Structures are given as structure tokens and as C-alpha cells.
Amino acid sequence: MATTPEEVEHGSDKAAMFLAWEDLKVVIPNFGQGPTKRLLNGVNGCGRLAGNVVMSGKVLVNGKKRRLDFGTSAYVTQEDVLLGTLTVRESIAYSAHLRLPSKLSRKEISDIVEATITDMGLQECSDRSIGNWHMRGISGGEKKRLSIALEVLTKPSLLFLDEPTSGLDSASAFFVVQILRNIASNGKTVISSIHQPSGEVFALFDDLLLLSGGETVYFGEAKFATKFFGETGFPCPSRRNPSDHFLRCVNSDFDGITATVVESRRIHYNGSPCLMCIV
């Protein structure tokens, strides 16, 4: 979805972005886990902010200020908070009976549970115990998909995730992000922080917000990020993972390239449909 400057309301100079429906957006931070978690907590209204953290801004829907009603957004934390003694199906059913509207019949709730299991690719482990520290259970990738399943039961329009691929192997990470890609393709907006995604995973993203030290280095379509860095004097080698290249640039050379990136942004993005804020 194209964005004009008039359509954008800045929520913060350090992390401002425009959200479009049917998008999979990713935040690649380079300043530790804490600030990213606080950003997601604050934007989505879940969790607590530290006493010295102040967040300001406006939530706009179609350019108009409005509240995000219950069920509009959902948040998947980095830690999987699951009851290990339940099976996958029992866990989803338990959450469904607690969170779905009471007007739904048992048959309707059961149908939603089974559809969610299928959508999340959990059929093979649906009757296995989740497991915990002393009881063997499902894999890490399956736990993450289960955590996502518990949040998409209410069919939120906005889905936030804090590092959903952390601790997963490359195959499991790709499967998780592919699930998120499918959710976004069904008319939802998915926003996730992630560290060092593989090239295959990076190719699934619509938009990229690249942060360093709390500052926005790039915000726009992910497929144009390589071109942007190339035009600012930091071309990505042909066989290097783009996300690794971006992080290498902002890690080792950030002090030296900030001025270059800022000036290039003014030239390259002036009048562009993409928004990028650099302070």
C-alpha cells in the first residue's frame, strides 16, 4: 500500500512507521532485546513500561484517530508461556473457550480450534503433550506456532511478535515466518522484531524497519533496502545475506555512515511513497 507524507502520523522520531493492511513488517533492531520489547509492549498495549520510559503518539486507522478495541490486536511474546501438561489441541481449546464470544456454540468453537490447528501446521503434534522441563514434548518450532495459534484465535487485525524465531533452527524459523506470511496474506497486518533472519526468511517480508541504537536507519519496502544501502555507498555483495549485510553496516560503521545515510535519505526518499525517519 503506497503511503504519502500526508497519510503518516509520526508516533516517535526514533521509531515511526505507517502500517498497511495485508503486510508482513519486520523490525531488525541492533540495540538489544530490552528496547525492542518495550517498543512492542507500548505500541500494542500489552505488558508494563518501566517508570522512566515515556511513549507518545497517536493510533490512526485509515487516517483517523480511534481506540484499538479488545481483540483488534494480539501480541506473541518471545517466551512461550504454555501449560506443559496439556496437549496442543487441549491448549488451543482451553484458550478458545475462555476468549471467544460466549454466543458461539461448542460445535462452532470446536470448528475454530480444528481450523487453527490446520492453519498453524500443528496436525501431526495436536494430540501430544506440550512438555516442560521434566517431561518431553513438542519441538521449539511447534511451541512457537502454538503460541501464535493461541493469539490468532480471536482473528486480530494487528499481530505483534517479539523475536518469534529466536532459538529455532533455520528450517523451523522459515516455517514460522511462512505461517506469518500466510496470516498477512489473509488481510492481517503482522509486525515482528527479528534478529539476523536468513536470506529465505528475509525474502518473505514486505516492509523493513532497521534500527540501530534506537534510531531508524531504514524504513520502507524490504526489497528496496539493498538498493538503498548500495546508493549510500555500502553495496551488498552478491552472495551475502542482505540482513547480515545491513547489520554489519550499522554495527561496525554506524558512527561513520550516519551522516551519509541521513543526507542520502533526504535526496533519495524526498517525495517517495515510503517513509523513513532518521535523527
Q: What ranges make up the beta strands (E) of 174-264?
A: 189-193, 207-212, 215-221
**Lowest pLDDT segment from 30-44, 59-73, 126-140, 230-244:** 30-44
Mean of pLDDT values over 237-248: 85
Q: Any bridge partners for residue 189, and if so which?
A: 23, 158
Does residue 242 contact residue 26 with C-beta atoms inside 8 Å? Answer: no
Q: Which residue has the higher pLDDT, 65 or 26?
A: 65
Q: Is 271 left (phi over 0), alpha (psi -120 to 50) or beta?
A: left
Backbone angles phi, psi at 52, to 5 degrees: -95, 10
What are the tens digits of pLDDT across the range 140-167? 999 999 999 999 998 888 899 998 888 8
76 to 29, 143, 241: CA distances (angstroms): 17, 12, 26
3-class DSSP assignment, residue 86: coil
What are the tens digits of pLDDT across the range 164-213? 888 888 899 999 999 999 999 888 889 988 877 888 888 898 888 888 77
270 to 84, 199, 267, 277: CA distances (angstroms): 52, 29, 6, 11
Give the torsion through C-alpha atoms of 79, 80, 85, 86, to 10 deg.
160
Domain boundaries, the chain: 1-72+159-279, 83-155
End-to-end CA distance of the chain: 25
Mean of per-residue pLDDT scores for the chain: 76
What DSSP assignment string belongs to 149-170? Answer: HHHHTT--SEEEEE-TTTT--H
> Other CB atoms closer than 10 Å to residue 261's CB: what's the count?
24
Question: Which among 80, 28, 15, 17 is positioned nearest to 201, based on CA atoms?
Answer: 28
What single DSSP character describes residue 187? T
Q: Report the alpha-carbon angle 2-14-43, nearest 5.
A: 75
* Helices 88-99, 106-119: inter-axial angle, 10-degree rounding: 130
The CATH class of the 1-72+159-279 domain is alpha beta
Q: What is the pLDDT of residue 262?
A: 55
This prediction's pTM: 0.72
Backbone angles phi, psi at 159, to 5 degrees: -120, 120
